[in-house]
């Protein structure tokens, strides 16, 4: 049975597409932070190892929440690596293993891209799709990513 929650079928489908792109972005960032956690080296090893773990753990929860929001709206959440790769707006760098501070810079860049997209997607959810629930949901994720970005940036600022 499809949801009867005051949002048209067309708008629910549009929001589900928007959320699935976010789901792909979040999963790609989750995977990248895992890789950084496993491969960080150097004098900041312990600090960054723990920071990357903290962030991928937080994003793991976000991934689940985004997928469940898609389901709440009657959509089908993406769930394969191929789908995530196809729909993600973030980029991978297979075969590369950056130095510790370059990992941090890359993670900051990805976080900031997500923040900008979340801000835009929250506006689209409200204005184009008349979905205030998703707008609120995305705004909360935006705040979480702003804090994660700040935590990462604090390691590279003088």
- For residue 158, pLDDT over 70 is answered with no
Residues 102, 123: Cα–Cα separation, whole Å = 32
- Of the two residues 94 and 74, the one the predictor is more confident about is 74
State the residue range of the domain holding 42: 9-87+97-153
33-83 pLDDT, tens per residue?
999 999 999 999 999 999 999 999 999 999 999 999 999 999 999 999 999
Q: What are 151's two structure tokens?
A: 């935590």
> Does residue 3 sit within a domain?
no
> Does residue 122 sit within a domain?
yes
DSSP string across 12-48:
HHHHHHHHHHHHHHHHHHHHHHHHHHHH--STTHHHH
Q: What is the pLDDT of residue 3?
A: 83
> Does residue 18 sit within a domain?
yes
Percent of the chain with pLDDT over 70: 99
> Does residue 133 sit within a domain?
yes
Q: Would the pTM count as exceeding 0.85?
A: yes
Question: Which of 48-62, 79-93, 112-126, 130-144 has the least mean pLDDT?
Answer: 79-93
Q: What is the pLDDT of residue 51?
A: 97
> Does residue 158 sit within a domain?
no
Contacts of 75 (CB under 8 A, 6+ apart): 12, 13, 15, 16, 17, 19, 20
> Does residue 1 sit within a domain?
no
> Does residue 71 sit within a domain?
yes
> Does residue 44 sit within a domain?
yes
Q: What is the pLDDT of residue 5?
A: 81
6-28 pLDDT, tens per residue?
889 999 999 999 999 999 999 99
- The CATH number of the domain holding residue 133 is 1.20.1260.10
Count of domains forming the chain = 1
In angstroms and rounded to an integer, the radius of gyration of the C-alpha atoms of the chain is: 16
Element (H, E) at 1: none
């Amino acid at each position: 049975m499809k949801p009867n929650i005051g949002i048209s079928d067309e708008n629910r489908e549009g929001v589900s597409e928007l959320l699935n792109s976010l789901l792909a972005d979040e999963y790609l960032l989750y995977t990248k932070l895992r890789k950084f956690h496993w491969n960080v080296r150097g004098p900041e090893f312990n600090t960054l190892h723990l920071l990357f773990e903290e962030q991928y753990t937080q994003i793991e929860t976000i991934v689940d929440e985004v997928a469940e929001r898609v389901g709440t709206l009657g959509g089908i959440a993406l769930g394969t690596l191929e789908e995530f790769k196809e729909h993600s707006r973030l980029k991978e760098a297979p075969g590369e293993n950056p130095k510790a501070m370059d990992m941090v810079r890359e993670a900051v860049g990805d976080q900031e891209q997500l923040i900008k997209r979340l801000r835009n997607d929250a506006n689209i959810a409200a204005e184009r799709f008349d979905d205030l629930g998703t707008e609120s949901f995305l705004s909360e994720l935006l705040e979480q990513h702003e804090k994660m970005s700040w935590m990462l940036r604090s390691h590279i600022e003088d």
